[in-house]
Structure formats: C-alpha cells, structure tokens
Amino acid sequence: MEIIAIYTEKNSDSNYDQLIPLCKYLYSELDSFSFAYDFVVPIGNASQTGSYIDAKQATQILDEYYIFSKEHSLVSKKTFNLKPSHYNIYENMKAQTPLKTSYNYPMISGCHIGWTSICILHNGDVLPCRRLPVVLGNLKHDSFEDIFLGSELLRKFRRFFTYQEKCGTCEYGIACRGCPAISYARTDDCFSSFELCTHSSLTEYKPDIQIPEIDCSNEEEMEYFKSSMKSFVALNHYKIFSLFPEIANQAKKIISTTKSQGSYIQTTDEFNKLTFDEAYCLGNLFAARR
C-alpha cells in the first residue's frame, strides 16, 4: 500500500523557504512517502495573495530539493517527484545530459496546452487549460474539432516559437515551454517569458520541420497535429509500454497490428490514417501516463 502525502500551500515569497523543511519532515515521519509540489497559478482567490516567488527563489527550492532527493532516493524506497515540467529540464542541466532527441519535433513533452490537454466547463465553455481562464468557444454552438483545430490561440501554442524571449528560442522548448497559465496570470500574456525559469544559458532553437502558417485550413492543421502526435507517441512509447502494459493493449485496440506495438507506431504510416479523435485520444493516453 502506498500513502501519498500532498500538501498545498501558497508558494508566495513569504513562505517558500518552508517548503523543503516540510518535505524533510514528512520524509522522516512517514513510512511511505511521495512528495509532489507545483507552483501556484495566481488566478481566482490566489490573485489576491500579492507577492510571488521569482526565478532565484524557484531555483533555490529546486537546488535544495535536488540535493535532498539525490541523497535519499538511493537509500530509500520513498518517492521523490516534482510537478513543474521544467524540473525535468533542471535535472537534465544538473546532470549535464543533453536532451536525448533531435530537434525535429514541435513537442516531445512538457506543457501539454494546445496538444493533449483541454478544459471543458459544466456550461460547455472550452478553455485551453483549467488554469488559463480564456474561453475559446462553447460546445453548445461549436464543434470540439473546430475549437481545437481552429482556435488561433491553440494554434499559437502548437507553434511554440511564437513564445517571446526565452521559451521561443530555448533549446529545451520542445520539452518544456514553462507554464503559459502562470505567464498569463502574471503578465496578461501567455507567451511572455516564463518568470520562474531556472535555465540561464540558452542556445537557439532551429526547427527542421515544416510548420504551417497560423492561418492555414483546419485540414492542414489536423495533419500538422497528427504528425506531431505521431512523433510524441513514438518518442514516449518505450517507457510507457514497459511501465503500463494496459496502455499497450489500449493502443493495440486503436491501432490493430500484428507487429510489436512500439516499432509499429514508430515506423508505420498507419498513424497518419488515424482520425482526429483517435490521434487526440492516443496522445492523451500517453500524456496522462507520462
């Protein structure tokens, strides 16, 4: 049996230094331990909290957490985890391991806004993310496909180089992209530089792929989306299939094959025959189990 302790607090600049002591306390007190932490998104009541941590303070949290987890994860079965997707980037930088992929994809992991996540409210309103209060359309009047493929905002998210300053030109952009919801809440601009980024030395991103113009047809957008999903699934399937055999079975139901699921997805053109719904479901399946 596993007990997961989740503790949520405002990580404002008045209490951010309590987070790692709390982590250490829970670690010492609990037999089973899994620690998860995420940045607060200052929307709703949280917008009243006033001051938020900056990149220096965020880096301090990650530095302390990184050292503590590395010291203890080898001698314990307890789980160390952090939610912000750019923590993976931080770990890569610390370990000085380059991203294990070429840059020929618009997205391989990181924030899934515009790709495999979306938010539908009880009244039919569709938002890009549960943390980003911008209404894209309403399912009482618009089809999901039209909203997802036709929304200019979602199209911009799928062309991440439109992000200003850091993320748009960052070598880790295809695996990170910060948190557009935090950027929006703090600056009114989803594509502004992510203020909590811990990556200081950037090299320029140069996509080798053909990325359609923003005002293309929905059909062209769908082809772009499907080819991106194909690379996303292909790059992630090995760990997913080995960790979650049931995912392999579900993928197998979506794509019937006599070959091994992994190499099949990676090498075949069958993926291009998937409908929009199937490609979207498959991407979600992988994103949810990352």
Residue 158 is a binding residue for ligand SF4 (CB under 6 A): no
Q: How many C-beta atoms surround the C-beta of residue 278 within 10 A?
A: 15
Pick from 271, 234, 235: nearest CA to 256: 271
194 binds ligand SF4 (CB under 6 A): yes
Among 58, 108, 176, 251, binds ligand SF4 (CB under 6 A): 176
Residue carrying the six token digits 């990352």:
290
Region of 55-63, 125-133, 167-175, 245-253 interacting with ligand SF4 (CB under 6 A): 167-175
One-letter amino acid at 176 equals: C
By CB under 6 A, tell whether 197 contacts ligand SF4: yes
Residue of 61, 86, 128, 148 interacting with ligand SF4 (CB under 6 A): 86
Cβ distance 104 to 208 under 8 Å?
Answer: yes
Give least dist CB 204 to ligand SF4, A. 12
Main-chain phi, psi angles of 78, to 5 degrees:
-75, 150
Give every CB contact of residue 93 below 8 A, 6+ residues apart in sequence: 198, 199
Q: What's the CA gap between 153 and 182, in Å, rounded?
A: 16
- Does the footprint of ligand SF4 cover residue 89 (CB under 6 A)? yes
Give the binding range for ligand SF4 (CB under 6 A) out of 22-30, 165-173, 207-215, 268-276. Answer: 165-173
- Closest distance to ligand SF4 from the beta carbon of 163 (Å): 7
The smaller minimum CB distance to ligand SF4, of residues 194 and 280, is found at 194
- Residue 182 has a CB neighbour count (10 Å cut-off) of 23
Q: How far is the CB of 91 from ligand SF4 (least distance, A)?
A: 12
Tokens 């080819």 sit on residue = 227
Q: To which residue do tokens 């991103």 refer?
A: 205
Element at 125 (helix H, strand E): strand 125-127
CB of 215 to ligand SF4, least distance (A): 25
What is the Cα Rg of the chain in Å? 20
Q: 134: closest CA among 184, 182, 179, 194? A: 184
> Shortest approach of ligand SF4 to residue 181 CB, angstroms?
13
Contact between 105 and ligand SF4 by CB under 6 A: the answer reads no
Burial class of residue 31 in the structure, from the number of CB atoms within 10 Å of its CB (0-12 exposed, 13-18 middle, 19+ buried): exposed
Q: How far is the CB of 26 from ligand SF4 (least distance, A)?
A: 28
Nearer to ligand SF4, 105 or 264 (CB): 105
| Amino acid sitting at position 84 | P
For ligand SF4, which stretch binds (CB under 6 A), given 194-202, 229-237, 265-273, 280-288? Answer: 194-202
Task: Map residues 29-58 to x or -, x wherever contact with ligand SF4 holds by CB under 6 A.
Answer: ------------------------------
Site size with ligand SF4, rule: CB under 6 A? 13
Residue 90 CB, nearest approach to ligand SF4 (Å): 8
In which residue are the tokens 């899994």 written?
Answer: 34
Binding site for ligand SF4 (CB under 6 A): 86, 89, 166-167, 170, 172-173, 176-178, 194, 197, 199
